[in-house]
A = this chain, B = another copy of it.
Amino acid sequence: METKPTNSELEILHVLWQRGPSLVRDVHDELSKRRTTGYTTVLKLMQIMAEKGLVRRNEDNRAHVYHAMVSESETQKGLTDDLVDRMFGGSAHRLALHALGSQKATPEELSEIRRLLDQMEERS
């Protein structure tokens, strides 16, 4: 399954993941908190996303209820894999190294990663 939403689609998906099934009005209100955006713009985007299968809508009521058809984690995976392929020669651990080194991490985050490494070592 191809899961590589555009920027605008991603913004909308974030709202749906956070709020759960929502009306266009809800999504528009949420997006408007951060930037100006027209109502029909959001509507159009969500209609297109429905055609693509990124969301599905319930048309029982006049105001259609939209819910995400792709999960946050599979979208993370899709976009991460894409970056790994395009920029890190297919090596995920090189991306991990880059991401780790590029930002300060809290001790909690560091130990969280160590725990994951431990798990991976056990299983190998």
**Which residues of A are at the interface with B, using a C-beta cutoff of 8 A?**
7, 10, 75-77, 79-81, 83-84, 86-88, 91-93, 95-105, 107, 109-110, 112-114, 116-117, 120-121, 124
Contacts and interface: CB of A to CB of B under 8 A. Distances in A.
B105 A87 contact: no
A85 B56 CA distance: 26
B114 A117 contact: yes
**Number of copies of this kind of chain in the complex:** 2
A75 B87 contact: yes
30 contacts: A7-B86, A10-B86, A76-B87, A76-B88, A77-B98, A79-B87, A80-B87, A80-B98, A80-B99, A81-B102, A83-B83, A84-B99, A91-B103, A93-B99, A93-B100, A93-B103, A93-B105, A93-B110, A93-B113, A95-B95, A95-B96, A96-B100, A96-B113, A97-B116, A99-B99, A101-B116, A110-B121, A113-B113, A113-B117, A114-B117
